[in-house]
Amino acid sequence: MTNIVEVAVGVILRDKEVFLTRRASEAHQGGKWEFPGGKREANESMPEALARELQEEVGIEVLASTPLMQISHDYGDKKVLLDVNLVVQFNNEPESKEGLEFRWVPINRLSEVDFPEANSAIVNKLLAV
Ligand SMILES: Nc1nc2c([nH]c(=O)n2[C@@H]2O[C@H](COP(=O)(O)OP(=O)(O)OP(=O)(O)O)[C@@H](O)[C@H]2O)c(=O)[nH]1
Ligand SMILES: [Mg+2]
């Protein structure tokens, strides 16, 4: 299996805190905390996928985002390419439209959070900013 899943990921940032949701227990990497986002569909650009996923999952309208980094990771059962974007301007208060747990976490506490393996590069980058 050489198929790589492309994922648009949004780091929603406000007052040095980021917005996290908790993955459903039955999902890939279930029970771990994540930055909201999801798979790019064939007809979409990455920015379009980001806007759609953040609207669907957390109910915000992205007004401004900047690319942070791309991460390739092989989970063994799945290969992902995470396209990670800082979301600094948005409409509406983020929540989980899917009934998942969510919380705001200060950037300087991100190393304490139980994330999927691929996310350690994101955390390191955010801590360095
Ligand atoms: N959204 C998101 N996915 C991540 C992160 N880190 C990470 O390794 N992933 C992986 O990227 C993939 C993206 O998946 P997703 O499950 O959110 O995709 P989706 O929203 O389109 O879900 P669906 O499969 O229910 O349609 C999963 O395999 C997930 O484990 C992260 O911080 N946020
Ligand atoms: Mg998702």
ipTM: 0.94
**Residue to substitute in 1, 5, 7, 84 for testing ligand 1 pocket (most ligand atoms within 8 angstroms of CB):** 7
Please tell me the residue having the least CA distance from ligand 1 atom 14: 38
Q: How far apart are CA 86 and CA 65, in angstroms?
A: 5
Sequence letter at residue 23: R
Residues 54-90: pLDDT tens digits? 999 999 999 999 999 999 999 999 999 999 999 999 9
**Which residue carries 């648009």 as its tokens?**
8
State the pLDDT at residue 2.
75
Domain that holds residue 38: 4-128
Q: pLDDT tens for residues 33-53? A: 999 999 999 999 999 999 999
Could you give the residue ranges of the DSSP H alpha helices within 1-119?
A: 46-58
- Any idea what the CATH number is for the domain that residue 87 is in? 3.90.79.10
In this prediction, residue 129 has a pLDDT band, given cuts at 50, 70 and 90, of confident
Task: Say how many domains are in the chain.
Answer: 1
Pairing verdict, β 4-14 and 17-22: antiparallel
Residue 128, CA distances (Å) to 13, 49, 114 in order: 15, 27, 19
Determine the average pLDDT of the residues in 105-120: 97
17 is in an annotated binding site: no
